[in-house]
Structure 1
Amino acid sequence: MRLIQITDSHLHADKQARSRAGVPWRQFQQVLEAVIAERPDVVVFTGDVSQDETAASYAQACEALSALPCPWFWMAGNHDQQELMAAEHPLLNEVDLAQWRLLLLDTQVAGKPHGELGSDALGALAQQLEDDDRPTMIAMHHPPVDVGAAWMDAIGLQDRDAFWQLLSAYPQVKIILFGHAHQAYAQHHQAAGTDIGVYGCPAMADQFLPGAEAFAIDEASRPGYRVVDIHGQEWQTWVERVEV
């Protein structure tokens, strides 16, 4: 099974609108074209679909995503409007991947750049993991780890300690995918006596400078996506970049 993660397109209703380092709609189209060529079995979009939070930006995204040769799923980032997203395409919290499960966590805190699950969502996650011990992949917008850029680490998942404590009881969690950081990240973290692969993804729009103390764009980097190839209980993952 091939799963591809895309994230952080930051689209505008105006397709000609510019970001700090490019034109988001054009970058979105070029990344999507490359993703289609990968022949994925499933695509997960880990948030910040829109920058201007307009119905038009979500409608345009869905029209383009309909060209994918497979099912696709999305979640809200800190810039998104969930009601407008749901009007175009469902917001699910779980996807059956046959031998695996994909859980999509809502980390959005309305009006804030940081993320949080909260006690109710953590309880729901625990129940999901109690109910099924198949290998599990979790997708979320906000990083549950420090990525090494001080300003970004301050606006990651605020209740990450509670999240990791919960996971320590559920060894079936194998992979965590996150967005928000606009940069690649790949580390293994210990929980439940096993290694969990934790992976960040390049944005479809601007890239952020790794290791920066304050907000900075990485003008030397390019948009991209993450490929996850799953074989039984094993996987390989890597990042692909796209010329724009």
Structure 2
Amino acid sequence: MATPHQTASRTDRPAGTRLLVQLTDCHIRADGGFTYDGIDTRESLQEVMALMQARHGLPDAVALTGDLSDDGSQAAYAWLRRCLTTLAVPAYCIPGNHDDAEMLRAVLPGDNVHVTDWAELGGWQLVLLSSAVAGREGGSLGRGGQDTLSGLLRFAGHAPTLVLLHHPPVPVGSPWLDTMCLDDAEAFFEVIDRHPNVRAVVFGHIHQIYDETREHARLLGTPSTCAQFTPKTERHVKDLQTAGYRWFLLRADGDWETGIERLP
């Protein structure tokens, strides 16, 4: 796996490679002074984005995997849209359980910011699924989401693919979080297992690193851009680790690397 300093910026990465960055669980509110477990969420997101550019330059795209807002407000999404617009690279957004999915879809899209279930990046396919269910902390794709996943993976053919969603499709070892996983994970994996071109299933929600392998696909959880949760706990315990993001270096031949960067 590459070290941070081996992951080159767009100007000096090898030809045919693309850098994707995952940002997740930003928890932005309408009021600018909101803190989550003592972390100013707006300030922390801006610091994480500055770290991203300092380490990598601009990525080729960013994927935001839910809980983008904490209150589902128009003002929160408008602020986030302005923040993402400054990057001037494609930003693909999906909702989480804290989001108002309708408000997200109404306010965020425009310029370089997209709410979509599919994107292409250097020959790689990105499948972006909404697992958010209004009024529930846990997630579900439902029959419609399962059909979308199946159809998009058929469309991808043999192209290397990342599947992104908010809720983890597996228990992560913290009982309080494991009550909020993807309810229809069995049906989800029935589809994933039929498509060996799926390199990874990438999710947020858990505010911590997760990295396991199931069949041909890695299962990857990512730190929040604000506060972190201590792994393997019975209840919510704040972790003292800092905010961060996950990067993916995607090669045209289907090879890839991933890693985590955190604020100092």
- Deviation, structure 1 residue 26: 0.8
Asked whether the equivalents of residues 39 and 227 of structure 2 are also in contact (C-alpha less than 8 Å), the reply is yes
Figure out how many residues of one structure are paired with residues of the other and give that number. Answer: 238
Between the two proteins, what is the percent identity of the paired residues?
34
Asked whether the equivalents of residues 36 and 69 of structure 1 are also in contact (C-alpha less than 8 Å), the reply is no
1:184 matched to 2:209? The reply is: yes
Q: What letter matches 1:101 in structure 2?
A: Q
Q: 1:208 aligns with which of 229, 242, 261?
A: 229
Residue correspondence of structure 1 range 88-99 to structure 2 within 5 A: 88-89=108-109, 90-99=114-123
TM-score normalised by structure 1 residue count: 0.94
Q: 2:189 aligns with which of 150, 155, 164?
A: 164
Asked whether the equivalents of residues 124 and 250 of structure 2 are also in contact (C-alpha less than 8 Å), the reply is no
Q: Give the Cα separation in 2 of the matches to 1:36 and 1:69.
A: 12
Q: Give the Cα separation in 1 of the matches to 2:187 and 2:105.
A: 28
Q: Give the Cα separation in 2 of the matches to 1:98 and 1:19.
A: 36
Q: 1:223 aligns with which of 216, 238, 243?
A: 243
Deviations 1:163-198 (A, max 9, x none): 1112111111111110000001111111xxxx2111
- Deviation, structure 1 residue 124: 2.2
Asked whether the equivalents of residues 183 and 203 of structure 1 are also in contact (C-alpha less than 8 Å), the reply is yes
Asked whether the equivalents of residues 139 and 182 of structure 2 are also in contact (C-alpha less than 8 Å), the reply is yes
Asked whether the equivalents of residues 19 and 60 of structure 2 are also in contact (C-alpha less than 8 Å), the reply is yes
Q: Give the Cα separation in 2 of the matches to 1:25 and 1:124.
A: 33
Q: Give the Cα separation in 2 of the matches to 1:50 and 1:5.
A: 16
Higher mean displacement: 49-58 or 17-26: 17-26
Q: 1:124 aligns with which of 148, 152, 156?
A: 148
RMSD: 1.2
Deviations 1:116-158 (A, max 9, x none): 0112211221122122311111110000112111111110111
- Deviation, structure 1 residue 239: 0.5
2:36 alignment partner, SS class = coil
1:29 matched to 2:29? The reply is: no
Q: 1:17 aligns with which of 34, 37, 54?
A: 34
1:54 matched to 2:78? The reply is: no
Residue equivalent to 2:87:
68
Q: What letter matches 1:208 in structure 2?
A: F
Q: Give the Cα separation in 2 of the matches to 1:71 and 1:101.
A: 14
Q: What letter matches 1:117 in structure 2?
A: L
Asked whether the equivalents of residues 4 and 44 of structure 1 are also in contact (C-alpha less than 8 Å), the reply is yes
Q: Give the Cα separation in 2 of the matches to 1:221 and 1:99.
A: 35
Q: What letter matches 1:209 in structure 2?
A: T
Q: 1:149 aligns with which of 174, 186, 205?
A: 174
Asked whether the equivalents of residues 72 and 104 of structure 2 are also in contact (C-alpha less than 8 Å), the reply is no
Q: Give the Cα separation in 2 of the matches to 1:149 and 1:143.
A: 12
TM-score normalised by structure 2 residue count: 0.87
Q: Give the Cα separation in 1 of the matches to 2:36 and 2:201.
A: 28
Unaligned runs of 5+ in 2: 1-17
Superposition misfits of 4+ residues, deviation over 4 angstroms: none
- Deviation, structure 1 residue 211: 0.3
1:5 alignment partner, SS class = strand
